[in-house]
């Protein structure tokens, strides 16, 4: 995030668990005869994947390796950033996404956004998950924000593994130069045609979601309905949440300024924020696993992915 102690200045609105029931019948439910005809079965319940925690950790370790091989960071205009973007795009290309490497210029350097769209679902109703891909020059930027980048990358790959057929269109974004003032996401939304912006029904942000020791997750307070989707996931795992108000300090602000409903999640406080020690040892598999599965839960629920038979891990 772009300002010191992103979440230390967040507004804590209290702890709470919210249990939300999912619609539909359990997988495998059958209809019963009514008179001479059969009653049509209700749609199967949404069944998000259960993604092993090491899946997103593997991406985070790759981002650490990229930083180590490229001057110790993945900052805007540095080779470590472009290598990070290439890594994400290659994974998504292989998984069957329609991907775009969008360039922009800032401070005399070329930056890149990676945009990936799953080619199924109503293109007039877009559910968008995003995270900034860049870090600061001081270090590898693993919690801030290889954690969010890894979580949504793995959620996207789970969509591919499931060969999902959502009712709405799923789109994912990895933003450049967030640390310099939300530059990449602002460029994307500003240059998107107004008719295309109007198709985005929700934007969910994942910034600093892997902090070691997290046991209570922050849920953005911008939109209650979207926030309740995350609370439903954490409640189902017996995990407490708190409300956080991040204001305009991460990429969701680039969407909310155009009237798009936004939410997101955040992990606990990070003593290595914007520091050299923000390395792979600054995040935790348990935390990454739940943040990744919360992202997948939100994607499945908000986009209306039907229950599918098969392994998602």
Question: So which residues are the catalytic ones?
Answer: 178
Phi-psi group of 270: left, alpha or beta (phi > 0 → left; psi -120 to 50 → alpha; rest → beta): beta
- Alpha-carbon Rg of the chain, whole angstroms? 19
The dihedrals phi and psi of 118, each to the nearest 5 degrees, come to -80, 125
Residues 222 and 256: beta-carbon distance below 8 Å: yes
Residues 45 and 23: beta-carbon distance below 8 Å: yes
CA–CA separation, 158 and 94 (whole Å): 13
Phi-psi group of 264: left, alpha or beta (phi > 0 → left; psi -120 to 50 → alpha; rest → beta): left
- Which residues contact residue 113 at a Cβ distance below 8 angstroms, ignoring those fewer than 6 apart? 100, 101, 102, 104, 173, 174, 175, 176, 184, 185, 187, 188
Give the distance, in angstroms, between the CA of residue 255 and the centroid of all CA atoms in the same chain.
14
Residues 181 and 2: beta-carbon distance below 8 Å: yes
């Amino acid at each position: 995030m772009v300002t010191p102690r992103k979440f230390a200045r967040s507004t804590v609105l209290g702890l709470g668990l919210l249990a939300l029931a999912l619609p539909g019948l359990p997988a495998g439910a059958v209809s019963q005869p009514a008179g001479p005809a059969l009653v049509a079965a209700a749609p199967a319940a949404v069944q998000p994947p259960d993604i092993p925690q090491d899946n997103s950790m593997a991406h985070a370790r790759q981002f650490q390796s990229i930083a180590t091989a490229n001057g110790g960071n993945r900052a805007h205009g540095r080779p470590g950033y472009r290598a990070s973007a290439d890594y994400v795009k290659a994974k998504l290309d292989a998984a069957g996404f329609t991907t775009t490497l969008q360039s922009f210029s800032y401070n005399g350097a070329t930056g890149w956004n990676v945009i990936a769209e799953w080619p199924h679902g109503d293109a007039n109703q877009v559910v968008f998950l995003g995270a900034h891909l860049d870090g600061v020059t001081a270090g590898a930027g693993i919690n801030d924000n290889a954690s969010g980048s890894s979580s949504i990358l793995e959620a996207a790959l789970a969509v591919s593994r499931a060969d999902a057929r959502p009712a709405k269109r799923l789109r994912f974004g990895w933003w450049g130069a967030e640390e310099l003032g939300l530059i990449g996401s602002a460029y994307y939304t500003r240059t998107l045609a107004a008719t295309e912006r109007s198709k985005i029904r929700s934007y969910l942000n994942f910034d600093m979601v892997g902090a070691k020791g997290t046991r209570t997750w922050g849920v953005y307070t911008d939109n209650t309905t979207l926030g309740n989707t995350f609370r439903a996931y954490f409640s189902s795992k017996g995990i407490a949440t708190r409300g956080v108000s991040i204001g305009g300090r991460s990429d969701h602000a680039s969407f909310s300024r155009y009237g798009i409903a936004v939410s997101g999640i955040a992990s606990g406080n990070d003593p290595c924020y914007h520091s050299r020690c923000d390395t792979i040892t600054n995040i935790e598999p348990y935390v990454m696993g739940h943040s990744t599965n919360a992202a997948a839960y939100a994607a499945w629920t908000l986009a209306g992915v039907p229950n599918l038979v098969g392994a998602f891990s």
